């Protein structure tokens, strides 16, 4: 079982990275968010990924598949996702387009609307994720993905949902400074929001 791999980036795409390890090239499938970050690295950069290795049945043969994650926590969360009925590794990986904390929190609070907005998750899969994993993901809801944007003092970002909204807006292509300004502007307007998704929607409507 391959659990970690280190090598140089030989090729990078929206769903995979080709890593050169000595004279061997490994194709490693990635979550969209991970692939996007790695695309910022130049070819030849050395990276290390935590991996999930399994055999995919393809008609009369089994094909070895390697999936890569930036942290061990991300891999552990992925391994929880595939516990849900009929939610295979490829589908689970493609769905990881938002911060781990946001994903875990959506399952914990039963936010099937947010879950259904993720790639490859329909109504039945969203319900299955909540039924299978609700109450089991508390350890994934922490500070890792909730750090305030750089350059913003913690005193300015008063709540976790504000910090989380900024991170989501950045992933949606909003410049960091604009995201911070917009979230702080909503607070100053006196509007009250209990869910991070409501903040993101309010910012995008402006």
SS3 (DSSP) at 62: strand
What's the pLDDT tens digit per position in 144-171? 443 333 343 333 444 567 778 888 887 7
| pLDDT for 8 beyond 60 | yes
- Please report where in the chains the tokens 């140089």 appear, as a residue: 8
Instruction: Say which range, 12-16, 60-64, 106-110, 186-190, has the weakest mean pLDDT.
Output: 186-190
State residue 52's pLDDT score.
Answer: 96
Between 88 and 196, the more confident residue is 88
Question: Which residues are CB-neighbours of 119 under 8 A, at least 6 positions away?
Answer: 32, 94, 95, 97
What separation in angstroms does the CA of 169 have from each of 98, 110, 150, 158? 10, 22, 14, 17
Q: How many residues in total does the chain contain?
A: 206
Nearest CA-CA partner of 176 in 167, 164, 185, 184? 167
155's tokens: 């005193």
User: Within 10 A of 200 (CB to CB), how many other CB atoms are there?
Assistant: 24
State residue 114's pLDDT score.
Answer: 93
Question: Which residues are CB-neighbours of 193 under 8 A, at least 6 positions away?
Answer: 161, 186, 199, 202
What's the pLDDT tens digit per position in 184-204? 778 777 777 777 888 888 888
Angle between helix 176-188 and 160-171 (nearest 10): 140
């Amino acid at each position: 079982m391959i659990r970690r791999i280190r090598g140089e980036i030989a090729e990078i795409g929206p769903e995979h990275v080709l890593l050169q390890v000595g004279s061997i090239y490994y194709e490693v499938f990635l979550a969209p968010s991970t692939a996007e970050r790695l695309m910022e690295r130049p070819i030849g950069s050395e990276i290390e990924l935590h991996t999930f290795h399994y055999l995919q049945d393809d008609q009369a043969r089994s094909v070895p598949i390697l999936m890569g994650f930036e942290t061990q926590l991300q891999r552990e969360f992925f391994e929880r996702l595939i516990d849900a009925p009929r939610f295979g590794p490829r589908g689970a990986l493609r769905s990881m387009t938002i911060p781990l904390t946001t994903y875990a929190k959506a399952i914990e609070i039963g936010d099937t609307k947010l879950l259904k907005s993720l790639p490859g998750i329909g109504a039945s899969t969203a319900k299955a994720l909540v039924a299978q994993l609700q109450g089991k993901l508390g350890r994934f809801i922490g500070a890792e993905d909730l750090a305030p944007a750089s350059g913003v003092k913690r005193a300015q970002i008063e709540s976790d949902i504000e910090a989380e909204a900024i991170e989501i807006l950045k992933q949606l292509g909003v410049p960091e400074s604009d995201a911070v300004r917009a979230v702080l502007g909503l607070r100053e307007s006196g509007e009250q929001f209990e869910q991070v998704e409501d903040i993101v929607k309010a910012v995008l409507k402006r």
